[in-house]
Structure 1
Amino acid sequence: MTEPHPALGLDDTIHQKTRLALLTVLDEAGQADFPYLKKLLGLTDGNLGRHLDILAAQGLIEITKGYEGRRPRTWAAITPAGEQALAAEMRLLSSLVTRFNEKRR
Structure 2
Amino acid sequence: MDPLFDEFLHVPARLSLVALLAPADWVDFAFLRDTIGTSDSALSKQISALAGAGYVEVRKGQERRTRRTFVRLTPAGRQAFERHAAALERIVAAARAQAVHPPANGSA
Residues 28-50 of structure 1 deviation map (CA, whole Å, 9 limit, x = unaligned): 12221111001000010100000
In the alignment, is the contact (CA less than 8 A) between 2:5 and 2:83 conserved in 1? no
Q: Equivalents in 2 of 1:30, 1:24: separation in Å?
A: 12
Counterpart secondary structure, 2:9: helix
Runs of 4+ in 1 over 2 A off after TM superposition: none
Structure number with the higher helix fraction is 1
Alignment counterpart, residue 35 of structure 2, candidates 22, 32, 40: 40
1:31 maps onto 2:26 in alignment: yes
Indicate the residue corresponding to 1:85 in structure 2.
Answer: 80
Indicate the residue corresponding to 2:105 in structure 1.
Answer: none
1:74 maps onto 2:69 in alignment: yes
1:15 maps onto 2:13 in alignment: no
1:95 maps onto 2:90 in alignment: yes
Structural mapping, 1:51-66, within 5 Å: 51-66=46-61
**Normalised TM-score (structure 2):** 0.87
Root-mean-square deviation (Å): 1.2
1:9 is displaced (CA, Å) by: 5.0
Q: Equivalents in 2 of 1:104, 1:31: separation in Å?
A: 41
In the alignment, is the contact (CA less than 8 A) between 2:14 and 2:50 conserved in 1? yes
> Where do 5+ consecutive residues of structure 1 fail to align?
none
Counterpart secondary structure, 1:98: helix
Q: Equivalents in 1 of 2:85, 2:58: separation in Å?
A: 23
Q: Equivalents in 2 of 1:9, 1:78: separation in Å?
A: 18
In the alignment of these two chains, the number of paired residues is 100
Identity %: 31
